[in-house]
Structure 1
Amino acid sequence: MIIGILKETADNRVAIVPKTLKKFNEKDIEFQIEKGAGVLASYPDKKYEKYAKVSDRLSVLKQADILVTINPIPEQELKLIKKGAMLVAIFSPFNNAALIEQMKELELQAASLDMIPRTTIAQTMDILSSMASIAGYRAVLLAAMESPGFFPMMITAAGSIKPCKVLVLGAGVAGLQAIATARRLGAIVEAFDVRAAAKEEVESLGAKFVEVPGAIDKRDAGGYAVEQTPEFIERQQQEVQKRAASSDVVITTAQILGKKAPILLTKETVDKMKPGTIVVDLAASSGGNCELSEMDKTVIRKGVKIIGNSNLASDMPKDASFFYSNNVANYLKLIIKEGNLHLDLNNEIIDNTILTKS
């Protein structure tokens, strides 16, 4: 069996790092990696040479039985892959129905790592949590760089500066990492989440939990938010507007699995925020938590800077690649038995992730 690792076309990360390849001792598995695939993530070709064959992209595409990437392979290259090959990546199937259909027509198998259930047994494969942790950390650093003021309290001979006020909307993995990072930088932090279970975690990190009564809370939602009633949404927006108006930084992370992200910051809320406020919207790729967010763009409205970026993990490619690599290696070990692809659909993890099967 040949497992191919391709260079990402629009990302600084690489799907598998050299250290992870040491974990595969099966004599029936050969790794091939595209030349330069890990360079942007600080993993040069020479680091791979002991464990994999470094080759050109076309050779990897044509020979691999399993192709591992982070983002989907460009559609025009799918025809180059041999029938029956398995593609392993983050396919975001709810938003890419046409791509999934094309892979079916070409008789390609596909496994979407973003569909791994967020359960205890699947923790070692949970790429969403791994990448969200990095994104939450990076979001605060980005906000600190863009902010016109300090994060910590500063007392100097020239005067005193109050600490930055940070509001985090959504206290999942990304939100909790954002809270922890903002607190380490000396900010005063408030956080909101519809899940009651998040309160203890938020407070354990030294932040204040903002409660809005009446939220629908499903414990089996896998860390995602769930759709709320119109009455709750109205109360929520009123509370968020009040908190956002006095904040210096707002980090938004709330997403609903398979649906558009909930709007937490309306235009009206942004208009009430102070000039110089920084908003980092980590849900921009699924529509954004801020009504004004645009994916991969920075929007400025009345002095408020809104940064739409759902791919901050790519800005820390070395460690993000390391995390992703370990997650994907654990998944590969689940679906490969004795050098052959073994898809046991009775296994919840495999059943959730397989999109197409030849």
Structure 2
Amino acid sequence: MIIGLLKEPDFETRVSMVAETVAAITKKGITVLVEEDAGAKAFCANDEYEKAGATITTRANVITQSTIIAVIHPPVATELGQYAVQGKVCIGMYQPLFHPGLMQEYAAQQLTVFSLDMLPRTTRAQSMDVLSSQANIAGYKAVLTAAASYGRYFPMFMTAAGSIAPAKVLILGAGVAGLQAIATARRLGAVVEVFDTRPAVKEEVMSLGAKFVEVEGAADASKAGGYAVEQTEEYKQKQQQRIAESVAKADIIITTAQIPGKKAPVLITEAMLQSMRNGSVVIDLAAATGGNTPVTQNAQTVHYNGVSIIGNSSLQSTMPADASKLYGKNLLNFLQLIIDKENQLHLNWEDDLVKGACITHEGAVVHERVVGA
């Protein structure tokens, strides 16, 4: 068994496995090939991988010699011919619902593709839940980014020169990213309000010291794996009215709402943005899927009527060392499901996690949701 670790595209700072993760694999007697400088941007040098038992080699060697290839972003299309070996496996976060055509290309090359962002959101899957581990970092960094961009204090200050009121932070979405954002904003001294369509998260929100904004009549999201779900028009109207009231008072807004395989819902309208005071900041973590405002641009800062809208769905990549460490641990736990005690590839299709994360196998797209995308 050979596991290969590839360097990510230039825009990505993370890597699938740091040396610590590689060491845990090589101790089992599994060979690990690492592309030269794969972990450089995550502060993991070649010699650290070598000390962990890996072999540093070229990208081509990693691709052609490995049975399992770990690469966070989709394999490069121009290299697919090198992957064309029956039984080769790729594992990463490929957003297959947004790229069904690409998945068809992988199937045509006989690639077996596992996309960890498609794992069922169950208790058993928590140790390999890459969405949660990365969202936790994104929620934390969203608040720090907002604080750095906001021209005023976050906490209340009472000085001889006068008093400064605390910043008012509104967080839309109380998933993993939202909850971490609440905790971080509260530690910085902000007053925090939170909106979420799921009444079940109210207790968690309040336990972190934030106020929960309630809107009655939300559709049941208990089976959506932590994501938002489509709502009725009546509910959307109530939602917009209640959000508008909170937006008008907010200095900082952090939005996290996404729907799997669909464009992110627009929660903050242009009229709401116009109600915010000069110098306010919006951090839109749903930017990659369209954003939660109508003016959001992914990987850009848009200045609208005195408000800065920062679209960034990759804040986890601004903390590459810890993000890679957590991702690698998730990956290691998943590998234990598909590698047997003899260090051979063993794909158990009776395992709901193996089946749920598999997108392509034996020349076909096998994931039901991707087939219908």
Q: Same fold (TM over 0.5)?
A: yes
Q: Distance in 2 between matches of 1:120 and 1:105?
A: 34
Number of the residue aligned with 1:75: 77
Q: Distance in 2 between matches of 1:69 and 1:98?
A: 19
- Would you say the 8 A contact 1:66–1:86 is kept in 2? yes
1:8 partner SS: coil
- 1:314 to 2:317 alignment: yes
The one-letter amino acid of 1:21's match is V
1:260 partner SS: coil
Number of the residue aligned with 1:5: 5
- Would you say the 8 A contact 1:203–1:209 is kept in 2? yes
- Would you say the 8 A contact 2:6–2:59 is kept in 1? yes
Q: Distance in 2 between matches of 1:26 and 1:39?
A: 25
Number of the residue aligned with 2:135: 132
Number of the residue aligned with 2:162: 159
Per-residue CA deviations over 1:267-286 (Å, capped at 9, x if unaligned) read 11111111111000001111
Q: Distance in 1 between matches of 2:84 and 2:4?
A: 12
Number of the residue aligned with 2:204: 201
The one-letter amino acid of 1:295's match is N
Q: Kindly state the Cα deviation for residue 146 of structure 1 after the two structures are TM-superposed.
A: 0.1
Listed as ranges, the gaps of 5+ residues in structure 1 are none
Q: Kindly state the Cα deviation for residue 23 of structure 1 after the two structures are TM-superposed.
A: 2.0
Out of 86, 104, 109, the position equivalent to 2:107 is 104
1:62 partner SS: helix
- 1:272 to 2:275 alignment: yes
1:212 partner SS: coil
Q: Distance in 2 between matches of 1:174 and 1:216?
A: 21
Number of the residue aligned with 2:64: 62
The one-letter amino acid of 1:256's match is I
Q: Distance in 2 between matches of 1:247 and 1:267?
A: 15
Number of the residue aligned with 2:350: 346
- 1:86 to 2:93 alignment: no
The one-letter amino acid of 1:40's match is K
- Would you say the 8 A contact 1:281–1:309 is kept in 2? yes
Aligned pairs for 1:327-342 (under 5 A) are 327-337=330-340, 338-342=342-346
Q: Kindly state the Cα deviation for residue 26 of structure 1 after the two structures are TM-superposed.
A: 2.7
2:24 partner SS: coil
Listed as ranges, the gaps of 5+ residues in structure 2 are 363-373
Structure 1 runs (4+) deviating above 6 angstroms are: none
2:239 partner SS: helix
- Would you say the 8 A contact 1:63–1:82 is kept in 2? no
Q: Distance in 2 between matches of 1:103 and 1:271?
A: 45
1:356 partner SS: strand
Q: Distance in 1 between matches of 2:331 and 2:37?
A: 20
- Would you say the 8 A contact 1:283–1:309 is kept in 2? yes
The one-letter amino acid of 1:78's match is L
Number of the residue aligned with 1:172: 175
2:134 partner SS: helix
- 1:219 to 2:257 alignment: no
The one-letter amino acid of 2:81's match is K
- Normalised by the length of structure 2, the TM-score is 0.94
Q: Distance in 1 between matches of 2:294 and 2:351?
A: 39
Aligned pairs for 1:283-322 (under 5 A) are 283-322=286-325
Q: Distance in 1 between matches of 2:136 and 2:157?
A: 28
Q: Kindly state the Cα deviation for residue 61 of structure 1 after the two structures are TM-superposed.
A: 1.5
- 1:113 to 2:120 alignment: no
- Would you say the 8 A contact 2:278–2:307 is kept in 1? yes
The one-letter amino acid of 2:14's match is R
Q: Distance in 2 between matches of 1:7 and 1:273?
A: 42
- Would you say the 8 A contact 2:128–2:329 is kept in 1? yes
The one-letter amino acid of 1:16's match is M
Number of the residue aligned with 2:326: 323
Q: Kindly state the Cα deviation for residue 185 of structure 1 after the two structures are TM-superposed.
A: 0.2
Segment drifting more, 164-173 vs 1-10: 1-10
Q: Distance in 2 between matches of 1:229 and 1:81?
A: 45
Aligned pairs for 1:251-262 (under 5 A) are 251-262=254-265
Segment drifting more, 271-280 vs 144-153: 271-280
Aligned residues: 357
Q: Distance in 2 between matches of 1:26 and 1:67?
A: 17
Q: Distance in 2 between matches of 1:197 and 1:156?
A: 40
Q: Kindly state the Cα deviation for residue 82 of structure 1 after the two structures are TM-superposed.
A: 3.7
The CA RMSD measured in Å over matched residues stands at 1.0
Per-residue CA deviations over 1:60-107 (Å, capped at 9, x if unaligned) read 122111110111122111211242310101010110111101001111
The one-letter amino acid of 1:317's match is P
Q: Distance in 1 between matches of 2:207 and 2:137?
A: 20
Per-residue CA deviations over 1:294-324 (Å, capped at 9, x if unaligned) read 1111111111100110010000000000000
- 1:357 to 2:358 alignment: no
Q: Kindly state the Cα deviation for residue 21 of structure 1 after the two structures are TM-superposed.
A: 2.0
- Would you say the 8 A contact 2:150–2:279 is kept in 1? yes
Number of the residue aligned with 2:367: none
- Normalised by the length of structure 1, the TM-score is 0.98
